[in-house]
Each structure stands twice: as structure tokens, then as C-alpha cells.
Chain A
Amino acid sequence: MTRETILHPTRRSLLAGGAAALTAAALPRYAQAQSSEPIRLGFQLHRTGIGAAYGRWYERTALAALKVVNEAGGIAGRPVEILFEDDATDPRRGAEVVEKLATQARVDLIFGPLFSHVVIGSAPRAGELKIPYLVCSEGYHVASGKLNRWTLQPGITDVRAQVTAMAPFVTENLGKKVTMIFPDYAFGHDHRDFFTEAVAAQGGEVIAQIAIPPTETSFTRYFPRIPRDTEVLYHVMVGPAVLTFVKELGEFYGSGAKPEIFGFIDSLEAVDIASPGLEFLEGSHFWEGQCRMLQPDASEAETFYRDAVGVDANGAAIEDPNNVSCYGHMFSVWETLFAIKEGMEACGWRGPQDRQAFVEAVEAFTDMPAGRERPQGAKVFNAKLHQAFGHQFITKLEGGKLVKVHETSIEDSLYESDVDYTAMSF
């Protein structure tokens, strides 16, 4: 029989002691693993479907922002990963992607979608799963109050704010009698309703509203409906028929007198402004979320962002001048990632148990100053609406270049609303 002493331990006590020592040695490592394990963010990406042109630039912007964040130490010292999942720009698949990212990939939160029908189709599922869902969507659906406490939009302004801010410029500089041409679905209807209201508030008048069915491929028959006394033609067409639309509009007016033309850059995102057939737009004005072409007064933050994403002075990919970006919208991805960083650091993010605290931390945002985190410009976050408000840019096409002629203030874009997400339960 072997007697156990400190100097002569038995084999069993040695094994037990060894196991205890190993456990003890592993404990600090585990504790460290918890504090340094990567933060995993899910990205709902329009890689295929009608949003694909935006999707590839949203992915590129997200990766550029991720690199900057990680090089600067990540979020609260933890590295950050992004998992991209294609939603095919389809609301059903969008909800499935939210499900997949949340319950299978177990990401901490989800961000990135643009198309409003995908956002509206996915947001209920994000609310059920109680996972923060930060959208880069521009539509009026977040601020309208129709979604839920878990859905936030801190990185881009909404259509209602955009048109409210720009109406004064249109009525004061271009004309007071406006004819609107817009696609006959929800995005176009937001423009129709809110721009008409905003123009009336400025003493102007929308004298005709021409809705184009989304399946239309030729527009010639709609142009005779533009009243003769139209001073400004407001267009916000999207999709592959845009080039045809502009070309046929040019043929309709020919070289004769034509009204001032004001359009949303949505009409020409990812399209080279120098494309044949677009010459007609020379001299017309555009709304841009951020100026596609590098302006002489561009801030250091803007050029830093442009370089980081790899966009040249004309708004195209550095490696391929024909690959034109969605510059007017894609900053929202960059700014949303930095808003996530700020929100997580403000709430002392540890893991999914802090999701509610994260939403509350974002709701506590007020002034969001300009800087590398917000290269598009300063913003103010309205917690009740879960919506950021910011500056808008109006550019004029001169000599094939989009030149900035006006920047609205944040106050220009504010509007009254009864919506209060903070009063909703989680």
C-alpha cells in the first residue's frame, strides 16, 4: 500500500492535481477569450436581385469600414467580423436571412439592407428574435412608425426629410410650378406625397403628378401629359429603364425650350453620367446623399472615406472607371458600422445579453458630429423616430461633372411626427 505525502503523492492525486492545475491555468484564458473574442455582425446583403448594383458597393463599403475599425482596435478592443448573407432583394428571403444570421450564425446584431420592401418584410422577424436591426434604407418606413423598437436607421436620412429640405431650393431657384414623374410604387408615392406637401409649404404648386407603372419600358406616351406651363420637371425613376426614360425625355423636348429638370441621383446610381443618351441632362440639378464627384471643398473625412473604399474623383472604382459606385447612398453602410461601434461601446457590450442595452444606447444618441465616422456630414438622431437627420446636397451637371451648388442644413429637413418608438415595449 502506498502512503500519500506531499513529497510522495499517489498517481490518482497527481492526476487530480494536474487536472485542477490545467483548469486553473485555462480559467484566465477563458475569461480573456470572453473579452477578446470577435464581435460578429451580420450583414443582410442585396447580392442578387434588383438591388444587386447597390449590394456590391454596400459590401465593398462595409469591408472598407471594417478594415478601418479593426485597424483602430475594433469595438471596445475586440476585433470585429462581418458575415454577409444574400437576401436576393426579396422580402421573404430577407426574413429568412435575418433568421439565419441570428439563430444559426449567432451574430450579435444585423445591419445593411437598403430596399424598403426587404426591410419591411424582415423587420418583424428581427423584432421577434429581439435582435438590433440597423437599416441603410432611406425610405420613410422606419420614421413612419410602422416597424418596431429593434429597427433603427442612424446612418442615412429618410425620403421625407430629403424632400422637405430640398423643396425651398427648388421653388426659390428653379421654379414654382412643378410636374412630378415618379414610379408608381411606394418609394415614388413617398416622393409624391411629401414633396407635394413641401412645395405647397413654400408657396409653390405641383401642377401634375405622372405615375409610371413599374413594368413600363417606354415613356414616350407619358410626356405629352406634362403641362406646358411646367417650370420644373421633378423625376425620380429607378431601375434599368432609367436610361431609356432620360433618352426619350430628351427626344420629346428636342432642342426646343424645356423646363428646369430636378432629379434624384437614385435615377442614376451606378450609372456613368457620361453614358450616351444622357447629354440631355446637362444643366439639370440632382439630389445626392453624398456628392459622387469629389468637390473642391471636400473635407478630410470625405477624402479619407473615398480613398478607403477605393473610389476615384469621378465616383467610380479606382481599378475600373466603368464601375460607377452608388456614392449617394453607400456612405450609410460606413456610418452605420461606426454607429454600431459607438452604441456598443456606450452600453459596455459583452454579448447578445446586451442587445436591449444597445438599442437604448443608440436611442440616447443626439448630436452625431461629422468626422471620419460620418464622412457624409454631421447628423442628429431622433430617438422617437429611430431616424437620423442630416445634410442634403444639390448638384448641377456642368460639363459632364456634378458640381455642388447647395447644401441644406439639418434643420431644413426636420418635420413634425407623433411616432415614438421609445414608448414601445421591447
Chain B
Amino acid sequence: MRMIALHLAVLAVLAALQFVLPAYHHTNAARIMVLATYAIGFNIAFGYSGLLSLGHALFFAGGMYATGLLVDQGGWQPWLALVAGPLAGGALAAAVGLLALRTAGPAFMIVTLMFAQAFHLAILYWGRFTGGDEGFTLSGAARRIGAFDLADPATRYTAAFLLFGAAMLGCLALARSRTGRVLVAVRENEERTRMLGYDTFRAKLFALALSGLISGAAGATYGLMFGYVGGSFASIQYSILPLIWVLLGGAGTVLGPLLGTALMFYLIDWASSVTTASQFVVGAVLILLVLFAPRGLLGLVRDHAMRRLP
């Protein structure tokens, strides 16, 4: 119960921040919540199920492009296109999973990376529709859902909060559910889990599809919120980023993705303001993390203070 209260308190703080944050941090918070949603999606595969994918940009960008193209070129209503984003992310993840989950470990990383690269190159190849590496912008009308205009800061923050809240509570429910415990069992010892009678392939496929669905939702929302859909979101960089966010915050923790995303966002923001060698600073922090908190910050907290932190 204490743990549920803790997570609800975090959501309450995020809801309240909307009214106190200055303009710059207000928009940053909205960005961070959507990117943290992406990290939550990644964390379900990596942190809870032990599936280290290097191809999650495929699901994030898949959701972004599905929504963006449908609303921009398909003439779909934005709300309907927004529903299509997560479905595309989930479907792509399920399809990739059917093939990639026949492998494990480094082979799984390579196969997922391969699919994501193929998708990235396809975006560049069909530039006539996708805008290629330049991408395309979304008009004001494409970003209005009913009476709500996602270009409006308050609406944008609320949309990001609702998305993040749903993903976080969903992840919390999953972590505390029977299915969640099966996923952790698969992560810890797949052979033993299978021996106990669980269909581990099905469990992993479920985890990857759910992970893709949440990633797709984040990508679709990000595109509509900031009015831009671009090929760089499908590049390998966007497969690595959620891994870094999750590792920093704490893999296999519900709040880790938010913490990691926010810290990394502001670390880059701060470092680029004080030095031209900002990437060196980021690299140094990551090395320190690996040396002193290999389970991430919330992993450290869980090890030493809150053993029941989900």
C-alpha cells in the first residue's frame, strides 16, 4: 500500500508542477513525460523481461509515422490517428518478436537492431511519402483533438501527463500482477520458468508487444505534440536512448524511467550550457553510474532502503 501511495504521490507532484513551472521547464516536463513513457515501454521488455532490444526506435518511430502519415496524408481525424500509433507500435513489436524471439542474448540485440535499421532506411528510401531524413511538419489542424489544441502549453502538458500516468499505472499494475511475476521469472531463469510449466515464448512475446504498444503511443503523442515527424527518430540513437534512461533510473523499477529520462535531459541541458564538451560530461556520468550504481539510481535505493520498490 505504501508503494502505491508513493507512485500516486509522484503523479500528484507531476500534476501540480503544471501550475508552478516556468515556461521553459513546463514544456521540458511535458517532453520528459512522453519520453519517459517510451522508457517505460522499453523497461517492460528490458527491465522486467530481460529482453535487451536495440531496435525500439522502430516501435517509437512506427507509432509516430503511423499517426503522422495518417493525419497528414490519409486525412484521418487526429484522435483516430492517435489510436493507430500505439496499435502500429504493438503490431510491429509482435511481428518482430515472432522472429526475433527465436534468438536470445546478443543475437536478439542484433536481430532487433537489424529490423530497426531496415525501417530507418525504408523511411529514407520512400522519402516521397515520409519526407526522408528531413521528415515533415504537422499543420495546426492536425494537432487539434476535438476542442483540445496540442500546440497549447497547458493542453500539451495535460496530454503528456495523462499518457505518462496511464503508462506508469499500467506498468505498476503489471509489476504487481501474476503476469509481471512470470516476466521477472523469465528474466531471472527462463529454463526454470519453462520447467515450471509456463509458456515463456508467449510471455516474452506479450512483453515485447506491450512494450512496442507503449513505445508507439509515446512516438505518436510526441509527433502530434511538437508538430514534427522525422527520420532521425527511427535512427539507432533512439534505440540507445531509452536504454540509457532506464539504466540510469533503474531497470525493472516503475519510477526508474521517469527519473532516468529527467536526469539525462537536464544533464545534457546543463552540460551544454557550461561547456562545449557536454558529451564528455555525459559520458563521465555514465561511467560513474556503471561503477557505483550498476542497477541504476532506484536500483540502488531498492538494494539499500526500499526492498519492496516495484
Q: Does A104 contact B24, Cβ atoms closer than 8 Å? A: yes
Q: Which of B31, B230, B237 contacts A121 (CB 8 A)?
A: B230
- Residue pair A91, B124 in contact (C-beta under 8 Å): no
**B276 CB within 8 Å of chain A:** yes
Contact A146 B132 (CB under 8 A): no
> Contact partner of A116 among B27, B134, B237, B276, CB < 8 A?
B134
Q: How far is the CA of A124 from the CA of B80 in the complex (A)?
A: 22
| A265: interface (CB < 8 Å) | no
Within 8 A of A (CB), among B24-42: 24, 27-28, 31
- Is there contact, CB below 8 Å, between B132 and A124? no
Rounded to whole angstroms, the CA-CA distance of A86 and B228 in the bound complex is 20
Instruction: Judge if B148 is at the interface, Cβ distance under 8 Å.
Output: no
Within 88-141 of A, Cβ neighbours of B (below 8 Å) are at 90-93, 95-96, 99-100, 103-104, 116-117, 120-121, 123-125, 128, 139, 141
Chain A residue at smallest Cβ distance from B226: A95
Q: Which residue of A lies closest to B35 (CB)?
A: A92
CB-based contact A184/B125 at 8 Å: yes
- Shortest beta-carbon distance from B15 to chain A in Å: 21
Scoring B131, B228, B231, B269 by chain A CB atoms within 10 A of each residue's CB, the highest score goes to B228
Residue in B232, B237, B278 whose beta carbon sits within 8 Å of that of A117 in the complex: B232
Cα distance A120–B228 when bound, in Å? 8
How far apart are B124's CB and chain A's nearest CB, in angstroms? 5
CB neighbours (8 Å) of A120 from chain B are 131, 134-137, 228, 230
Question: When the two chains form their complex, are residues A214 and B133 in contact, meaning their CB atoms are under 8 A apart?
Answer: yes
Count: A-B pairs, CB below 8 Å: 95
User: What is the interface size of chain A, counting residues whose CB is below 8 A from a CB of the partner?
Assistant: 34
Q: How far is the CA of A90 from the CA of B127 in the complex (A)?
A: 18
A214 to B231 alpha-carbon distance, docked (Å): 12
For chain B, which range describes its interface: under 10, 10 to 19, 20 to 34, or 35 or more residues?
Answer: 35 or more
Task: List chain B residues, Cβ under 8 A from A96.
Answer: 28, 31, 269
A258 at the interface (CB under 8 A from B): no
* Cα–Cα, bound, A187→B230 (Å): 14
Q: Could you tell me the distance between the alpha carbons of A186 and B134 in the complex, rounded to whole angstroms?
A: 6
In the assembled complex, B227 has its CB within 8 A of some CB on chain A: yes
Min CB–CB distance A132 → chain B (angstroms)? 17
Contact B24 A213 (CB under 8 A): no
Contact of B157 with A by CB under 8 A: no
Q: How far, in whole Å, are A48 and B279 apart by their CA atoms in the complex?
A: 9
Complex Cα gap A123–B135 (Å): 12
Please measure, in the bound complex, the distance between the C-alpha atom of A333 and the C-alpha atom of B15, giving whole angstroms: 42
Closest residue of chain B to A104, judged by CB?
A: B24
**A205 interface residue (CB < 8 Å to B):** no
Contact in complex: B124, A185 (CB < 8 Å): yes
Inter-chain CA distance A121–B226, complex, in Å, is 9
Q: Which B residues from 113 to 159 make CB contacts under 8 A with A?
A: 117, 121, 124-125, 127-128, 131-138, 151
Is B195 an interface position by the 8 A CB rule?
A: no
Residues of the A chain whose Cβ atoms lie less than 8 Å from the Cβ of B269: 96, 100
B272 close to A117 (CB less than 8 A): no
Complex Cα gap A147–B28 (Å): 23
The winner among B117, B135, B138, B233 for most chain A CB atoms within 10 A is: B135
Cα separation A373 to B89 with both chains bound (whole Å): 51
> B305 within 8 Å of A by Cβ?
no
A47 CA to B132 CA, complexed, in Å: 23
Most chain A beta carbons < 10 A, residue from B23, B125, B132, B227: B132
Q: Which residues of the other chain, B, contact A275 by a CB distance below 8 angstroms? A: none
Q: Are B132 and A186 in contact (CB under 8 A)?
A: yes
Cβ contacts under 8 Å, B268 to chain A: 93
Given contacts A86-B272, A125-B226, contact A91 B23 (CB under 8 A): no
**Residues of A contacting B22 in the complex (Cβ-Cβ under 8 angstroms):** 103-104
| Contact across chains for A186 and B137 when beta carbons are under 8 A apart | no
How far is the CB of A276 from the nearest CB of chain B, in Å?
30
**Complex contact B227–A124 (CB within 8 A):** yes
Q: Does A85 contact B (CB under 8 A)?
A: yes
Known pairs A48-B279, A124-B227, A141-B134; A103 contacts B27 (CB<8 A): yes
Chain B residue numbers with a CB within 8 Å of A128 are: 151, 227
Q: Which residues on B sit within 8 Å (CB–CB) of A5?
A: none
For the complex, what is the distance from the CA of A141 to the CA of B230, rounded to whole Å?
14
Residues of A within 8 A of B133 (CB): 116-117, 185-187, 214
Q: Which residue of A lies closest to B123 (CB)?
A: A185
Q: Which of A103, A124, A187 contacts B137 (CB 8 A)?
A: A124
A91 to B132 alpha-carbon distance, docked (Å): 13
Contacts A48-B279, A124-B226 hold; do A99 and B27 have CB atoms under 8 A apart? yes
Tell which of B31, B134, B137, B232 touches A90, judged by Cβ atoms closer than 8 Å: B232
Cβ–Cβ < 8 Å partners of A124 in chain B: 137-138, 226-228
Distance in angstroms between the alpha carbons of A96 and B268 in the assembled complex:
11
Q: Is A189 an interface residue (CB 8 A)?
A: yes
Give CA–CA (A229, B272) in the complex, Å: 52
The answer to whether A2 has its CB under 8 Å from any CB of chain B is no
Name the residue of chain B whose CB is nearest to the CB of A90. B232
Q: Which of A48, A91, A125, A184 contacts B135 (CB 8 A)?
A: A91
A120 to B131, CA, bound (A): 10
Asked if B228 and A121 make an inter-chain contact with CB atoms under 8 angstroms apart, the answer reads yes
CB-defined contacts of B136 to chain A, threshold 8 Å: 120, 146
Q: Does A13 contact B (CB under 8 A)?
A: no
Other-chain contact of B272, A85, A121, A125, A146 (Cβ < 8 Å): A85
Complex CA–CA separation, A48 to B275 (angstroms): 12
Residues B276 and A86 in contact, CB atoms below 8 Å apart:
yes
* Distance in angstroms between the alpha carbons of A128 and B151 in the assembled complex: 7
Q: Is A215 an interface residue (CB 8 A)?
A: yes
Chain A 173-200: CB-based contact to B (< 8 A → 1; otherwise 0): 0000000000011110100000000000
Least CB distance, A55 to chain B, in whole angstroms: 10
Binding site for B on A (CB under 8 A): 47-48, 85-86, 90-93, 95-96, 99-100, 103-104, 116-117, 120-121, 123-125, 128, 139, 141, 146-147, 184-187, 189, 213-215
Can you give 9 A-B contacts (C-beta < 8 A)?
A48-B278, A103-B27, A120-B228, A125-B226, A185-B132, A186-B127, A186-B131, A186-B133, A215-B121
Q: Contact residues of B with A, CB < 8 Å?
A: 22-24, 27-28, 31, 117, 121, 124-125, 127-128, 131-138, 151, 226-228, 230-233, 237, 268-269, 272-273, 276, 278-279
> Would you list the 3 A-B pairs with minimal beta carbon distance, nearest first?
A124-B227, A186-B134, A186-B132
